[in-house]
């Protein structure tokens, strides 16, 4: 979080999520914060972040359902796995 957003906070690893398709292959380490972070304090490092948007889990699910083309295929997969792990 420090490198991507210039923000220090406690994180919890939720899952390690591999992804592969014709365009990309990656392994994401998916974390969640342990405290509320006000989005105005998040200052993305532009060389580390291609796109930034803040939303709740419910909002994210709705956004992805309504406009999946607005999200990278890998993000959709990692987000789904994140939600599945949170339910456990």
- Measured CA distances, 68 to 11, 26, 42, 65 (Å): 27, 20, 25, 6
pTM score over 0.75:
no
φ, ψ (nearest 5 deg) of residue 4? -80, -35
Where do the domains of the chain lie?
A: 2-87
Rounded to whole angstroms, the Cα distance separating 25 from 46 reads 22
Q: Which two tokens stand for residue 57?
A: 């889990």
What pLDDT was estimated at residue 7?
65
What pLDDT was estimated at residue 87?
82
What pLDDT was estimated at residue 4?
55
What pLDDT was estimated at residue 86?
82
Rounded to whole angstroms, the Cα distance separating 17 from 79 reads 10
What pLDDT was estimated at residue 6?
57
* pLDDT tens for each residue of the chain, 88 residues long: 455 555 677 788 888 899 998 988 989 888 887 777 777 777 777 787 777 777 889 999 999 999 999 998 998 999 999 898 888 7
């Amino acid at each position: 979080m420090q490198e991507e957003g210039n923000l220090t906070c406690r994180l919890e690893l939720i899952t390690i999520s591999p992804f592969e398709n014709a365009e990309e292959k990656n392994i994401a380490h998916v974390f969640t914060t342990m405290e509320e972070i006000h989005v105005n304090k998040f200052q993305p490092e532009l060389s580390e972040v291609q796109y930034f948007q803040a939303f709740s889990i419910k909002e994210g699910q709705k956004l992805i359902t309504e406009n999946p083309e607005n999200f990278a295929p890998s993000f959709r997969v990692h987000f789904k796995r994140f939600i599945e792990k949170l339910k456990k």
